[in-house]
Each structure stands twice: as structure tokens, then as C-alpha cells.
Amino acid sequence: MQQCDINTMEYFGVISPVLMERAALCMTEEILRVIEGKDEPVLIVAGTGNNGGDGLAAARMLMQKDIPVDIWYPGNEEKASTEGKRQLEIVRKYKIPVYKEAPGKTYGCIVDCLFGIGLSREVGGIYKDVIAQMNEMPGIKVAADIPSGIHTDSGQVMGIAFRADLTVTFGFRKLGHVLFPGADYCGEVILKDMGIDRYSLLDMQDMAFHLEEEDLDQIAARPRRSNKGSYGKLLLIAGTRNMAGAAALAAKGAYAAGVGLVRVVTPECNREIIQKLVPEAVLTTYDETEKDVSFLAECFAWADAIVAGPGLGQSDTSERILEAVLGVEDKRVLLDADALNLVAKKGDIKLPKQCVVTPHLGEMQRLSDTPVKDQQKELIKVALDFAKGYNTVVVLKDAHTVIAGPGAEICINLTGNPGMAVGGSGDVLSGVIGCLLAAGADAFFAACMGVYIHGRAGDLAAEQNGMAGMSASDLVPSVKEVMRLAEMRGNNR
């Protein structure tokens, strides 16, 4: 984002004071919105950089709207940026109160303009105390660009961080807004247009993207002249004794997303329950102690895509099944759950060309030897390293799931909610992604769209019945509802 600022000023010739005034105007609009009907004054806490300059300009604009406003400027004025010094001169001419220490007043709104996106080291010294005092103040808390103390690219807390109710950001969302724990400190994130847009990227690549409802338009419409084969044949290798539910949930997820046919490969002991739970599915069963898995060759030939792993178990037979799946060269493949645990046991392996792996952090720890606590600090790096190292698509499941492609593509999913943190939710996800793979989508698109649909389904389920008590089965009808929404959007195009 800093490079975008530079490009806007140096390449396009938009001068820094203009950008600062635009940013201040954007902030002022949102501050006025949140304090509407309140009588208490506003406190702007400004740093010595341009983020502080934005805040100083916003203070002037608030004063011009007859809003009582004070400025807390704890830093050394001599170290202020050029624009920051200019804005300080302006607010003093307007006689807006500027305090070196915390004013002993009550404010209706506290606006954090200390650091912005430039923070690269832990917060210390006076600023640590300043942020602590800001957090203790009553009133609505607003952050400019990103809460002070949150690392822009990782979302990590750099010692201490401002806890905002609202973050007003400019140009693009920052990774620190969507990666945890930063996402918890931002509150509602409002994206405002201050004149920095895609043109400012020049030759730079986006670091990451996320899908929105309009991206459902990318799901192909179902032509009138079609049949069950038109929407893909998915081979689902799942379930072991006492784990038939995993296979059933994955199959239901695939059907809810619109797959044409599902063939479930599962132990014979699961036949009756799966036939009852998913009567639409075709079954191929095997004995749990089976040593010969050559029967899978015909199944592979039948399929357009393969999902392996939900409830599969880690027996010798399961291991032989995985070896057979890894030998498939001409099918799109998704590996989940026990398939990933078996991969971790085998060590260095080659994955199929069009492959998606869907580990949660515990499974990724086994796959990469990276402890969960270290993954949480560098989710994107962990996902990218594995994607590049194994030439695969990684769906690293977390509160905001990260999808990484072998070409360094990154998608961060913003749908979903804590109600989905239940057993079986990942099985439904595997079915949804499997459906898209079977329909012909490339691995990265299928992963990104599948995760979006799954999360959006969880949000719909939460809207209907709340998060507490949500089950994986609740996601299935909601997946259908998301697909109905995609259909409606397609009909209106």
C-alpha cells in the first residue's frame, strides 16, 4: 500500500497534501456517522507520520462542522513528517486544542491516528502507554487505516494494539484487517475511496484477494439441454467403521453444490447407513482388511474428480488406497483429513497435478512440522511454502481460511463464523469443492469458490438459527441456498 501511495504521487503526480485531505475527508464522514446524536467531544490521537497528519486534517474538518474536538499529540513535533508539520500549523491557527499528555476529559469518540500501515517493530516507550490509555477510555473507538500496533501484512499484535470498533481504511483492504488476531482489533472495516486505486499498482501484483457475492457470477449456468453427466461425476473415497457420517456429509455437500453423480467408495460395513443417508449416491464397497485395491482402477476411470480422506481411517488398507489415489495422473484430486495424515506419515511424496489439499492447522503441523502457534503468525507463508513445494493448491483452514496456489496466488476467505467450528463441517467443504472439481473447474478456482460457498452457507445457517448448536448437517440446505442465489444472479445477467 505504501508503494501505491508513492506511485500515485510520483508517477501520476497527485501531490501528498491532496491525498491527505482526501483521507481526512473520508475519516470525517465516518466519524460524523458514528457520533450522530452524541454530545461528547471527539479526541484525535495523532502520531508524527502522515497517519497523524490525516488525523490532524480530520480534526480541522470536524471543527468546521461545529463538532468539539481535541488533539492528543504525544510525540516529538520536531520528528513529524513534512505534511504532519504543516497540518499541526493549520490546527493551531484554527485554535484547536493540542495536548502533549492525555486530556482529562470524557469523549464520545476516540480516533487512533498514531501509526497507520508503516509499523514494523514492537510498540514501546510512550506509545505503549498511550495505546493502553486509549483502550481504557470510554467512547466509540475509530482507527485510521489500521489499528495502531497491528502489523499490516501479518495481522500480528506488535506488543500492544488499539482495539477499534470501526476501522476506516483507504484504497484496498490490508492483510492485517483479515488475518487474526488483527481482525479482532479492527471492528467493522469500512473501505473508502481516497483516490488510490488499481491504477496505482502499476506493474505490482495484488498480494491477495477475497471473493464476494458478485463472484458467484463465475459459476456456469446450467444449460437446458444437459444431463447428470454434464455436472460431473465425483468419486468419494471416505468413511471407515464408525465414521460413515463423514462420507455421507461429503456426499451431501457435493449434491447440494450441484454435482451430477457421486460414487462413494467405503467399507462394506457402511453400506446400509450411507444408502439410508444419501440414497442418491452409488456405492462401491470393500472389506476393511482388503489388501488388493485394484478395483479402484475402474472407479478412477469412471470419475471426473476424486475426493479422498473424510473418515477414511489410517489402516493398512487406507494406506494402500491413498497410494492408488496418488498414482492418478489425469484427474482432479482433493485430499482431506485422514488422507493428509497418511501423507504426513509417508513424508516426501509427489501429489497429482491438479490437486487440492485441505488441512486444518493441526494437520498442517503434521504435514510441514510447523507448530500451530508458529503457523498462526504466518498463515500465508505456511500455505504458500507448501503450495510451491508440492505444486498443489492448499486450503489452510482457519477462522479466515487461506487458499494458496503453486503460482503464489493467495485468496483469503471472509465468509463463515464460529458456529461452523463443529465436527463434519470440513467434510461438507470437501464435497462442495469436489463438486466444482468434477464440473471441470481448475483446482485453485474450485478451492476459492468452494470455501466461499461453504462459509456463506454457514452465515445463512447462523442467520436462521444462530451459531450455538449449529451442526454440519445444517450447512447442507444452506449450500443449496447459496447455489440458488448464484442461479438467480445468472438469470438476471
Contacts of residues 83-87 at CB distance under 8 Å and 24 or more positions apart, as own/partner, are 83/16, 83/17, 83/20, 83/50, 83/53, 84/46, 84/47, 84/48, 84/49, 84/50, 84/52, 84/53, 84/56, 86/17, 86/53, 87/20, 87/52, 87/53, 87/56, 87/57, 87/60
Q: Check whether residue 333 and residue 380 sit in a common domain.
A: yes
Give the pLDDT confidence score for residue 132 in this predicted structure. Answer: 98
- Look at 9-23, 40-54, 123-137, 290-304 and tell me which has the smallest mean pLDDT: 9-23
- Displacement of CA 359 from its chain's centroid (Å): 15
Give the pLDDT mean for 285-301.
Answer: 96
Position 15 confidence tier, pLDDT thresholds 50, 70, 90: low
Give the pLDDT confidence score for residue 193 in this predicted structure. Answer: 87
Q: Which amino acid is at 228?
A: K
Residue 386 within any structural domain of the chain: yes
Residue 94 near residue 65 (C-beta atoms within 8 A): no
Q: Check whether residue 134 and residue 259 sit in a common domain.
A: no
Give the pLDDT confidence score for residue 216 in this predicted structure. Answer: 97
pLDDT in tens, 317-340: 999 999 999 999 999 999 999 999
Judged against a pLDDT cut of 60, whether residue 30 lies above it is answered with yes
Q: Which residue has the higher pLDDT, 79 or 201?
A: 79
pLDDT in tens, 38-87: 889 999 999 999 999 999 999 999 999 999 999 999 999 999 999 999 99
Give the pLDDT confidence score for residue 53 in this predicted structure. Answer: 98
Q: Which domain-ending residue is among 201, 228, 263?
A: 201
Q: Check whether residue 302 and residue 422 sit in a common domain.
A: yes
The CATH number that applies at residue 234 is 3.40.1190.20
Q: Check whether residue 327 and residue 422 sit in a common domain.
A: yes
Calculate Rg over the CA atoms of the chain: 26
Position 202 confidence tier, pLDDT thresholds 50, 70, 90: very low
Residue 80 near residue 54 (C-beta atoms within 8 A): no
Residue 265 within any structural domain of the chain: yes
Distance CA 164, CA 304 (A): 48
User: Which range marks the domain in which residue 410 is found?
Assistant: 213-491
pLDDT in tens, 430-476: 999 999 999 999 999 999 999 999 999 999 999 999 999 999 999 99
Q: Check whether residue 273 and residue 328 sit in a common domain.
A: yes
Residue 208 within any structural domain of the chain: no
Give the pLDDT confidence score for residue 493 in this predicted structure. Answer: 62
Q: Which residues contact 173 (CB under 8 A, 6 or more apart)?
A: 189, 191, 210
Q: Check whether residue 384 and residue 301 sit in a common domain.
A: yes
Residue 389 within any structural domain of the chain: yes
Q: Which domain-ending residue is among 170, 201, 232?
A: 201
Judged against a pLDDT cut of 60, whether residue 93 lies above it is answered with yes
Smallest CA-to-CA distance from 372 within 380, 361, 357, 383 is with 361
- Assigned C-alpha cell, 159: 506488543
Q: Check whether residue 315 and residue 189 sit in a common domain.
A: no
pLDDT in tens, 249-258: 999 999 999 9
Q: Check whether residue 95 and residue 220 sit in a common domain.
A: no
Parallel, antiparallel, or unpaired for β 393-396 and 402-404? antiparallel
| Domain total in the chain | 2
Q: Check whether residue 326 and residue 384 sit in a common domain.
A: yes
Average pLDDT, the chain: 94
Distance CA 397, CA 387 (A): 14
Q: Check whether residue 191 and residue 285 sit in a common domain.
A: no
In eight-state DSSP terms, residue 140 is E
Rounded to two decimals, what is the model's pTM?
0.92
- Displacement of CA 101 from its chain's centroid (Å): 39
Q: Check whether residue 224 and residue 195 sit in a common domain.
A: no
Give the pLDDT confidence score for residue 16 in this predicted structure. Answer: 77
- Assigned C-alpha cell, 461: 445457517
Q: Check whether residue 484 and residue 354 sit in a common domain.
A: yes
Residue 206 within any structural domain of the chain: no
Give the pLDDT confidence score for residue 348 in this predicted structure. Answer: 81
